[in-house]
Structure 1
Amino acid sequence: MISRKWAAFVCVLALVFSSGCSVFMAAKQPDKKNVDLFRLGTPRTMLLGEFGPPVTSETRNGRKYEVFKFVQGYSTGVKAGRALFHGAADVMTLGLWEVVGTPAEAVFSGDEMAFEVSYDRNNRINQVTTIK
């Protein structure tokens, strides 16, 4: 017959390894971007380094215009804290927290943002428009 200690150990082990989607989703949220770069005088290369290539790029009236679109995420500390919270809640509720935690992580997955910028002849921002 299986002892109670062995059965309890197997249950705890199963809980630890079954902590589910909310922990993973919290850890994999998008990173926080430095939106303070969208200011006058910032070089185009800094924008490309932080946000990647623009979604559109065109020339109007002799000036270059680009649109940067991205999901504003969370700092590493916030993501780690959320993942730890979900893991602890999973253990304390024997996995029932996933019913609340997984949909919550799906909803709080960052904010979509978009900025249109134009550059001067030195490829520095001379105008910023917040689109979203």
Structure 2
Amino acid sequence: MATQQPEKKDVSLFKKGTPRSILLGEFGYPIAQTEHDGKKWDIWKFTQGYGGGAKAGRAVGHAAADVLTLGQWEVVGTPIESSANGNRVAYEIAYDEHGNVSDVILLTEKSGK
């Protein structure tokens, strides 16, 4: 299950000057588009997952625990992995007249809850 968790997105791209096309490449299409305050805005909502190293490390750890406990670790490990499915995050992004990020608003708390 650890290897099937969502991928980690590069949220450092949500900064002034980043072209909208770069955001589309990393995050796909936004869930909403609006226009207010004289600017175009996008809202992105996604699950912030885990990097490849973290996923691989968790998978190896679970596999080792399975071997050492003769499979009994599954009783504990499966619920742990079911709950470790990343954090939901949302950003509202405004663009300047050239289509580059001008404003970034984090719409979720750091925990993503």
Runs of 4+ in 1 over 6 A off after TM superposition: none
Supply the distance in 2 between the matched residues of 1:44 and 1:102 (Cα, whole angstroms).
39
Instruction: Give the deviation of 1:79 after TM superposition.
Output: 0.5
Q: Give the alignment partner of residue 6 of structure 2, picking from 27, 30, 34.
A: 30
1:58 aligned onto 2:37: no
Aligned to 2:48: 72
- Within the candidate set 57, 61, 79, 1:103 is matched to 79
Output the CA distance in 2 between the equivalents of 1:34 and 1:96. Answer: 36
1:85 to 30, 43, 61: 61
CA radius of gyration, larger in: 1
Which residue of structure 2 lines up, in the alignment, with residue 41 of structure 1?
A: 17
Provide the secondary structure at the position in 1 that maps to 2:62: helix
**% identical equivalent positions:** 51
Could you list the per-position Cα deviations for residues 25-44 of structure 1 after superposition, in whole angstroms to 9, with x for gaps in the alignment? 10111111111001111100
Unaligned 5+ runs, structure 1? 1-24
How many residues of Structure 1 are paired with residues of Structure 2 in the alignment?
A: 108
Task: From the two aligned structures, give the one with the greater helix fraction.
Answer: 1
- Residue deviations 1:14-35 (CA, integer Å, cap 9, x gap): xxxxxxxxxxx10111111111
Alignment RMSD (CA, Å): 0.9
Please, which runs of 5 or more residues in structure 2 have no aligned partner? Answer: 109-113
TM normalised by structure 2 equals: 0.91
**Secondary structure class of the residue paired with 2:90:** strand
1:109-120 aligned within 5 A: 109-120=85-96
TM-score (structure 1 length as normaliser): 0.79
Distance 1:61 1:41 in 2: 18
